[in-house]
């Protein structure tokens, strides 16, 4: 018995249909939650240690590592029923989308840190870190996630077009075989 079967046995019937209908989105959001934790832990770990004066660099490194984790989890779990491209092409598209998402993610942190100057000694240590968390980890992540969801489904893992499984029986419509 699969883990998913065990989980769905405990879900009320009225919730099961919407969960199944939106399973891909839910998986994407779970992967996002996992990579969010990876990003935040790495970001603050780097920011409070070796990259104290470089919050954007710390966040870029954290997001890059989380992006690799995201690719693996999205490819193998969230979008497993999609795609069909050669792996190197799919990976190139994924990292192009992720790179754009990375830029979107950094924009609020850059504004907070450098335009609004919410950095010590101008503000307290606590204020700086709250501003960094809200701008980089919350606002940036929400904006980048919305973009990635759209772009992953559109470009990286598109719906297969006119794919007929080899085991599917041929049917006759209008006198031609195989038209669906």
Q: Render pLDDT for 43-52 as a digit per residue (tens, 0 to 9).
A: 999 999 999 9
Coil, strand or helix at 67: helix
DSSP annotation of 138 reads I
Is residue 171's pLDDT more than 60? Answer: no
Percent above pLDDT 90 for the chain = 42
Q: Render pLDDT for 68-108 as a digit per residue (tens, 0 to 9).
A: 999 899 888 888 877 677 888 888 999 999 999 989 988 99
* Distances, alpha carbon 23 to alpha carbons 18, 28, 117, in Å: 8, 8, 41
Mean pLDDT of 51-75: 90
| Predicted TM-score of the model (pTM) | 0.68
Is residue 38's pLDDT more than 90? Answer: yes
What is the residue-averaged pLDDT of the chain?
83
């Amino acid at each position: 018995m699969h883990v998913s079967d065990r989980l769905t046995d405990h879900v009320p019937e009225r919730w099961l249909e919407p969960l199944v209908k939106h399973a891909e989105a839910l998986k994407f959001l779970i992967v996002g939650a996992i990579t969010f934790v990876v990003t935040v832990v790495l970001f603050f770990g780097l920011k409070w240690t070796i990259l104290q004066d470089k919050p954007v660099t710390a966040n870029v490194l954290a997001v890059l590592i989380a992006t690799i984790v995201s690719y693996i989890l999205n490819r193998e779990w969230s979008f497993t029923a999609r795609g069909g491209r050669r792996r190197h092409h799919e990976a190139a598209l994924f990292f192009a989308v992720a790179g754009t998402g990375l830029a979107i993610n950094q924009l609020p942190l850059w504004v907070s840190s450098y335009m609004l100057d919410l950095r010590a000694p101008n503000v307290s240590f606590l204020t700086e870190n709250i501003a960094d968390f809200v701008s980089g980890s919350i606002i940036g992540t929400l904006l980048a996630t919305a973009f990635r969801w759209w772009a992953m489904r559109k470009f990286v893992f598109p719906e297969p077009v006119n794919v007929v499984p080899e085991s599917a029986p041929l049917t006759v419509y209008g006198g031609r075989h195989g038209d669906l």
